[in-house]
Structure 1
């Protein structure tokens, strides 16, 4: 009787918590945007290298399980390398979800302070606009924007001249532009800035 016949064909469980922990790591990197370059980029690269290593281990074990005639175990082990491959080929699917969740957690952490700062702004008759730099990576950063007019979400040609004047000396005036990443409710937005 072959040794493989003595080993039951049970799915491997560890790839699921491993993928969850690695995704949580991506969220943590995005939530902790106060990190200064190059530590932010190094943390992300280290996390992706760790994920790659774990995916390679799972792939080699999947091949071994398939060779031993245990298809359920092989399939369960192949899910982690497949998730890594999807992250590399279509980073918006996984990284975008991690970014959005990280933005929400980062905002929730300081929400009371942000609301207090907005409340302390004088009423000038113009919609209030306030921008906080959250930090980010070497060539791009994230800012929190409170925009009472919500014009931050409009294309530049539809933004009013008064809004552009209020945004002129903020991160929103970056010549490389910005992208609203996450609408946080109550006129708050997490914005990716190209500067």
Structure 2
């Protein structure tokens, strides 16, 4: 019982994830939004450009990721599935120091994989459009600390698992805590930024 719940929780936490290349997309997922529809207004710069893109992708039923460099040049745009984006190697090598924005069709905060992705590919900023909010994860001045992130994540997850073992009757509370784990970890790492309104 506990093992099956933990498996479901891990699956739940992996939703909306940014991922490395995987063969193919989820079968049967319709991609209603195509990248041809994406309007990149070169007259806009910085935050205005990002907000313009985010207003376009917010309603997409699948995740769309758009990467810009620090000067606002479009580097990568990729359509994913309802639960993630699969970037190919040639796109991943361009991620360093970039600003990546993507939408979360289910309106959620960053996932565990989002956090690792920002660290592993040394993004300057990771943004997630969720409903009427844009969540932002900005690289700290000292740089990402992926070891600290992984250790803290694992520690907090073990605490949740232990608490669930002690009180299995309160399953909905545990699921809520699991859902809020990425936000808790971001706050504990002092990386939290207030979301912007879209």
Q: Same fold per TM (> 0.5)?
A: no
TM-score normalized by the length of structure 1: 0.26
More helix by share: 1
- Whose Rg is larger? 1
